[in-house]
Structure 1
Amino acid sequence: MTYYDFVKEYMNVDECKNNKKYSSAGHTFCWSKDDSINAEGLYWFYEGNEFIIDIHDFYIKEEVIQNSTYSMENYVSICSSYIVSANGEKFNPYQTLTPNSLYTLDFDNIEDDFLFLLHENSYYLTVSVGFKRELLEKHLSSINIGLESFYRALLQTNQIILTKSLEKVAMEILNCKMDAPAADFFFKAKANEWISIVIDTYLNRKKYKIESDDNKALEDVARFLDDHFAMNVNQETLEKISKMSGTKLKNLFKEKYGQSITEYTQRKRMNVAETLLLNTKLPIKEIAESVGYTSHSKFSIYYKRYKGKLPSEVRNLVCKDHNLNCDCSD
């Protein structure tokens, strides 16, 4: 069975021929309000000779519990996903599914007790690259890294640094509107860039080691920012909490978390704002103010930058007339 036929059978819908949202070089399938009880939205994929790139773009209406994964070992060996937005958990091993994080599935060694949970009234948007064994072996053989070590790198090697590095690639894929044949070259390049970033992070993992006392201080700063994200925290306050100079704090914070203190705070604000947009009827202006923005327009600009959508578009996900941007909604 081809991957195209596999997706069509799994989703039990025909391909959307009038896709307007993602690259026409791939294939789009959608669940509308009438097709699925739990979710509505789009699944898009592009299949190359050695990889599959896909996008899950769904609004989760009711809690989704997946107690077994669909069999993918015939198509890809390992799948690495960048989460733009999600609210859920993956079990065995346990991992929270939150915005701006990674999760990996090893389809060659998937466990029987696999469990995947997505909470209701949440937005699930991920960009994934599934690597076929041939591509993995080609990249790994020249530097003497086995598949098992590569998988550990995806799971364990300084995830924050790796996540930040892969974010740019994921967002480029998400925003790609190219047609073939330009898209064919683009997606092949992005798949190879993705695996190269993982390998580079693995090979340079010792660079990211931070002394234990400094590491604890940085975690204290991060927790403080989590609790006071809506405030404009003074830099001097953070220096006193960490007992570091301003320069050292900025450098080590970026090394540990892969982003500046300002960006860390903005991401936290956007994640909280997304929850409010999807689960309350508060006006967008009030949501902007509640997460620390006095300017509605500035909030919208930042939200679009970090979430790939405007706040008004996310709010529309819970509205009756949500547009799937495909022929199923025409």
Structure 2
Amino acid sequence: MAVGDSVTSGHEARPGRAVWTTFCDDPGAGPAAPGSSWAGTLRAILGVPWNRYFNFAHSGASTGDVLLTSPYVNPCGVVSQGARPQIGDATAVLAANPSRKGNANVAVVTAGANDSNWVAVATQLVSRNLGGAIGGLFGAAPAWAVSNAGTCTDWAMGNPRGNPTPGVPRGPIPAAWNGPAVSAALSANTTSIHLALIGADPGAQVRQHLYYKWIGDPNMPAVCGPAVLRATNMMNGWISTGVLVAQIVWALRGGNPARIQAVCPALWNPGPAFVQTRLISFGANWALLPGYPHPNAGGRASMANCVNGTLPKAAGGGIA
């Protein structure tokens, strides 16, 4: 069972004859259409039959979308989840197919990055780095923001004391990223997602895959590496707090909190090994979609193997 955002939905840009095309949601449907989601890779590792694999994740979804949005329209213009939001469909399937001893259901989640405007902030930094038509399409961070690591961090995170670097406007620097402002809601929604999943099937193993931290992206200004890592660490911290609260609440209700975990905050160098760095492609609706770094085949395998390593195995080969 999978819910969440583009990292899990199978969001991928693929080469075509003239332009690259983005598939916003391609979770996989069978041997002839395996999709491009790490959850599908995990399915294969665990030996789960295709008819026991359910992926309700959607590109662009926030934690609020997972819990509440119906119908959902992804960035490619595809309408889905018409009757219930992701969590409604996921919990219905889990409740109807409960875990058995030695054969626990596995529910995985990625969500939280879209609760804030982080993708827009990262896109503006990339636009400043690449310049030209790219900056005109998506808007670019000011030139002073990429003067050095300090100015990039101050532009993204804000600095009430200001920054003395030449070219930086005098006075307090407002934060371009609104992450801290939405952090409490992000944590609370994360708690709700996990309690809903484990509540639907108390025997399940629920795993929140934390966001990978990427370094050395050729599209991102090199001086902005510290800001990118700081933002990702902060998001993972808020998500982990939400998971911790879910563990505490579940324990107070008499459940096993070890069945809920936040795992795998990997550090990747994007290159060809883990992250697809395609910047721009077209969606199914021919709308330009900026290329926030999504996992390629190597990255999906890394994510799936990491989560698999956190799952306790039963004597018979299933999940305990």
- TM-score, reference length from structure 1: 0.24
Larger strand proportion of the pair: 1
Q: Relative contact order, CA 8 A, sep 6+: which one is greater? A: 2
- TM-score, reference length from structure 2: 0.25
